[in-house]
Amino acid sequence: MANILDEPRYLCALGGSQTVQAIYKAVPIFHSGPGCAARVSGDASGTGYLATNTFPCSNIGEAEVIFGGEGKLEDVIENSLKVMDGDLYVVLSGCTTEIVGDDIEQVVSKFQQAEKPVIFVNTPGFKGTNYEGHEWVVDAIIKQYLTKLPKGEKIKGLVNIWGPVPSHDPYWLGDFRELATLVSELGLTPNLIFGEYTGLENLNRVPVAEFNLLVSPWVGLSNVKLLEETFGTPYLHYPTLPIGAHESSAFLRTVAGFAGLDLHPVEALIARHEREYYFYIERSVSVFFENRTASKRFSTVTTAYSALAISKFLVNDFGLMPNKQYLTENVPEEHQERIAGYFKNFSYGIEAEVVFSTDGYLIHRQIEEEYFAGPPLIIGSIFEKSLVKKLDGNFICVSTPFQQKVVLHSSYVGYHGGLKFLEDLFTGVYQTYN
């Protein structure tokens, strides 16, 4: 029997269109009902190259359900190529057209000789979430576009960076930028596929990179494995987004070791960063540890990507104790045991229990029963704000649905990002109790 799901934090697989939107001058074409297209495109964080309400859509209705919508899709693709100034066109299917049985691969094959590349990806909502939709879009780009490019020689030091799911994570742009900054400080050349001024120039360099760097607990792992199989490009899977000194230093050492770099200048770089980082920490010790309204125990209610990064930062850098960590993006079962293991690898033998749940109601009831030894600290989405008020605790909003503040280019990644997180956290504490 079906259950009611309260406060889900993800979209259907058609939300993979946000990944297309994150590539400069890539145009998503929806083969779905207008409501589906409006829902997933309207949820995107910002507009990008195209405004979300200008995306082409076949607007499937009753007639297409009965007679099929392949002819209508062909017309939409043909006219999109005429009026939409794009470099790559990606057709995405919704639930209705998948159920009806429209063959979008056959329709797209008619445009193989078009001036601009047209590819397709099956993204019905009943097959997965937008996180899996993101992986399917990247797979489609690899198989249908990158494999057709002329073969080139590997470029020494070029690193493809894969990480946050574009648009669905409010800090994704800043995260990519700061990851690229850390990589470039090692003397490597970061290649960003998503974000500002990326586009086909960067996408075309993916096959010739020296290696792929994936910074994510699970999303994107199938993509870098496919890139290794297809182009022989090795990959480094670093599951934890580096926030603060402990993880950022570990990140730099790991990437440098994988790239075969001389570690002596790397250690000098780390020493410089840590000296600056701890200078700011030390001069604010009284704010952190003499504030009796600040929480000492915390729970996260967010994605594995954010929860793991923030938990490691708060435990390893800041000495807080973790309560249960709730991972909300419907993590596939094949990844759950490995991800739970990441939360057993904190400093001083500290571990955190992980709960994989997509039901906000059940999560909130469990948090209410937990022991916090004072005001609880809850890190999550806007859904947790009322819960924290009820518990008289502290709150910081880090994930979708956001609606807490405007994020233009902020990020919690790196040494400066850790300081930024503490600023936001204790600003919230002061605002709550003053």
Q: Where are the domains of the chain?
A: 13-148, 160-277, 290-433
Mean pLDDT across the stretch 137-151?
Answer: 97
DSSP state of 345: -
Mean pLDDT across the stretch 267-276?
Answer: 98
Cis omega (within 30 of 0) for bond into 164: no
AA identity, residue 183: V
Contact assessment for residue 186 and residue 255, using Cβ atoms and an 8 Å cutoff: yes
Which range is least confidently modeled, 93-102, 221-230, 297-306, 322-331?
A: 93-102
Q: What is the pLDDT of residue 433?
A: 59
Q: What is the pLDDT of residue 290?
A: 62
Query: What is the sign, positive or negative, of the torsion defined by CA atoms of 163, 120, 205, 209?
Result: positive
Mean pLDDT across the stretch 388-410?
Answer: 87
Mean pLDDT across the stretch 159-174?
Answer: 92
Question: Angle at CA 386, nearest 5°, toward 380 and 390?
Answer: 115
> Pick from 278, 279, 261, 264: which is nearest to 210 by CA?
261
Mean pLDDT across the stretch 189-204?
Answer: 91
> Pick from 338, 296, 302, 341: which is nearest to 319 by CA?
296
Q: What is the pLDDT of residue 224?
A: 98
What CATH number is given for 290-433 in this structure?
3.40.50.1980
Helical axes 244-258 vs 263-282, angle rounded to 10° = 170
Distance CA 168, CA 44 (A): 6
Report strand pairing: 394-397 vs 321-327.
unpaired
Contact assessment for residue 418 and residue 412, using Cβ atoms and an 8 Å cutoff: yes
Q: What is the pLDDT of residue 156?
A: 97
First to last CA, the chain: 48
- Alpha carbon of residue 26 to chain centroid: 18
pLDDT in tens, 41-66: 655 555 677 776 788 999 888 877 87
> Pick from 72, 127, 117, 67: which is nearest to 94 by CA?
127
Q: What is the pLDDT of residue 1?
A: 44
Per CATH, the homologous superfamily of domain 160-277 is: Nitrogenase molybdenum iron protein domain (3.40.50.1980)
DSSP state of 151: P
Confidence of residue 40 (pLDDT cuts 50, 70, 90): confident
Query: What is the sign, positive or negative, of the torsion defined by CA atoms of 236, 239, 242, 245?
Result: negative
pTM of the model: 0.94
- 403 pLDDT above the threshold of 90: no
What CATH number is given for 13-148 in this structure?
3.40.50.1980
3-state SS class at 177: helix
pLDDT in tens, 308-318: 999 999 999 98
Q: What is the pLDDT of residue 46?
A: 56
Residue that has been written with the tokens 């074409």 in this structure: 29
> Pick from 56, 389, 25, 71: which is nearest to 196 by CA?
25
pLDDT in tens, 230-265: 999 999 999 999 999 999 999 999 999 999 999 999
Where does residue 326 fall: left (phi above 0), alpha (psi -120 to 50 degrees), or beta otherwise?
A: beta
Contact assessment for residue 319 and residue 252, using Cβ atoms and an 8 Å cutoff: no
Distance CA 171, CA 411 (A): 6
Domains 13-148 and 290-433 share a fold: yes
